[in-house]
Amino acid sequence: MINILMFMQRFKVSEVFFELSNENRLKILNILEERGMALRDFQNNLNIPKPEIYRHLKRLIESNIVIRDEKNRYQLSPVGKIIMLYLKGLNLLEKYDFVFRNHDISFLPREFQLSLGDMEGVEVIEGTIEGFNLTVERLKNARSYENIMTREILLPFIEPVSALLERNAKVRIIAPYSTRKDFFKLIEKIRTRDLKIKLVEKVDLVILVDEKSGEFNLPYLNGDIDYGITFYIREENGIKWINRLFEYYWETLPGEFIF
């Protein structure tokens, strides 16, 4: 039976933040997120003396972040599991601090800000040309669908999107009213039920996502989209996060369907 003494102590946020400020304790928590572990096994994963590991574990137990079961295996407590969910988002902000310090994410619905940890496997592609090449390559490889939110219709993307539709892939696009004329030119060449277009007043970021991968571009603090920094994800959780964000905008943004 799990040791329940930890539940007799009061959970204090200030103590938790203090414990998380230690790099070695963070390493221990990251290990425990993968699986429970006995004290002796930590030495195989950490370059830390056994007495020091024990002291760290003792502190984490006293802070209600870690528990020890009847087999003397350490594991995350229910509180610890929740804390690790939030830490994933913070780790992402730390990893790409050079991006987030001058790019805006405050416009994202709160549920997506809080679940940024789902994007922990994201890569950053630097360079406008590199980002455009990635997008074209992704569109060529997509098979069943592509969800797109964009501020403008860029000529290099028209051909691969047309090819997608010729392969009977389903394409949904969210774009500003200002792109209406561009879309009508595109629609003249492509008449298919697999293409759906929604025009809206404002687009905050660029999104492209399909069953294999996803990408997005954030705005600078002044609102201009930064095409020189592309977030690229191939992991399932990240793809689902981008798809959920697209669906949110598709369902909630007031707009007009033109096709």
Instruction: Supply φ then ψ for residue 45, to 5 degrees.
Output: -110, -15
User: Tokens 């970021």 map to which residue?
Assistant: 205
What is the rounded CA–CA span in Å between residue 46 and residue 28? 8
Full set of structural domains in the chain with CATH: 5-86 (1.10.10.10), 101-257 (3.30.870.10)
Q: Residues 122-140: pLDDT tens digits?
A: 999 999 999 999 999 999 9
Q: Is the pLDDT of residue 155 over 80?
A: no
Q: Is the pLDDT of residue 206 over 80?
A: yes
Q: 188 pLDDT band (50/70/90 cuts)?
A: low
What is the rounded CA–CA span in Å between residue 183 and residue 185? 5
What are the angstrom distances between the C-alpha of 226 and each of 102, 179, 223?
10, 19, 9
Q: Is the pLDDT of residue 184 over 80?
A: no
**Reported pTM:** 0.85
What is the rounded CA–CA span in Å between residue 66 and residue 30? 12
What pLDDT sits at residue 52? 93
Q: Residues 228-242: pLDDT tens digits?
A: 999 999 999 999 999
How many CB atoms sit inside 10 A of residue 67's CB? Answer: 23
What pLDDT sits at residue 20? 86
What is the rounded CA–CA span in Å between residue 50 and residue 40? 8
Helix (H) or strand (E) holding 173: strand 170-176
Q: In the numeric block, which tokens belong to residue 246?
A: 């697209």
Q: 191 pLDDT band (50/70/90 cuts)?
A: low
What is the rounded CA–CA span in Å between residue 5 and residue 206? 49
